[in-house]
Amino acid sequence: MSKRGVRPKGVLHRAGQPPVYYECPVCGFLTADTSFGTGDVTCPSCGAERDGRRIFPPERLRRLDARIRRYHSDGESEIVVILVATFLETLLEDILARIMESQGASLKLRASVLDTQRSVGQRLGRLFPTLTSVTFEDSAAEEGFRDFPKRWRALRASRNAFIHDSAFEAPIQNLDTRTASEAMALLDQAYRLFVHLNNRFAIRPDVVA
């Protein structure tokens, strides 16, 4: 059963907390439904039994997320922007790897493809549509996140203008709290978008009943 177009219910992105989703270990379906997490229901996607559900995001990302939120509450705007930009790139890499895995790509192949498509621009502009047959912009819009690609681009541009010397653009001297708050808003959206994209494109089909 597809969750396409349906906003996850009951997702509470509490301030200062990374969100909690539950993952079916068999097909990779993700949901915020706590009755799924506690094993009260079988997987609505593949019908798998009720044990072994994993928490998403995984521990390494939860730790990074918690750190970002601490920096944000401490007013460390520059660090927040740089870390969120990196975090979103990690989420993108993860979703691309999951989509490739669902299409049968081995670990070696996934690593090789991601290694040859290193830039965010290539990954969004070429790899994503190659794997899904839709553009990232269109699929984000279909999931209710029309502005996300543009806002993410703006965040990357701010980050880049701050940390890179460029012959083409003037460096910016600081990243303010407004940019940091925008970064935090994008972080929360990115999780929801990730879950939508996962359930639409990355469910492992060989196990779906």
Interface residue list for Zn ion (CB under 5 A): 24, 26-27, 29, 43, 45-46, 48
Residue nearer to Zn ion on the CB measure, 180 or 203: 203
Residue with tokens 């601490």: 70
CB of 23 to Zn ion, least distance (A): 9
Q: Do the Cβ atoms of 5 and 142 come closer than 8 Å?
A: yes
Q: How far is the CB of 29 from Zn ion (least distance, A)?
A: 5
Q: How near is the Cβ of 205 to Zn ion at its closest, in Å? A: 11
Closest CA to 184 of 11, 18, 8, 12: 18
Pick between residue 24 and residue 155 the one whose CB is nearest to Zn ion.
24
CA distance 58 to 127: 24
- The residue (of 43 and 197) whose beta carbon lies closer to Zn ion is 43
Among residues 22 and 148, whose Cβ is nearest to Zn ion?
Answer: 22
CA distance 151 to 148: 5
Name which of 26 and 183 has its Cβ closer to Zn ion. Answer: 26
Angle at 101 between CA 97 and CA 102, to 5 degrees: 120
Cis peptide before 57 (omega within 30 of 0): yes
Give the nearest distance from C-beta 26 to Zn ion in angstroms. Answer: 5
Identity of the residue, 27 or 92, whose beta carbon is nearer to Zn ion in the bound complex: 27
CB of 39 to Zn ion, least distance (A): 13
* Cα dihedral across residues 105, 107, 109, 115: positive or negative: positive
140 near 190, Cβ under 8 Å?
no
Least distance CB 88 / Zn ion (angstroms) = 26
- In whole angstroms, how far apart are CA 163 and each of 44, 48, 133, 178, 185? 45, 47, 34, 18, 21
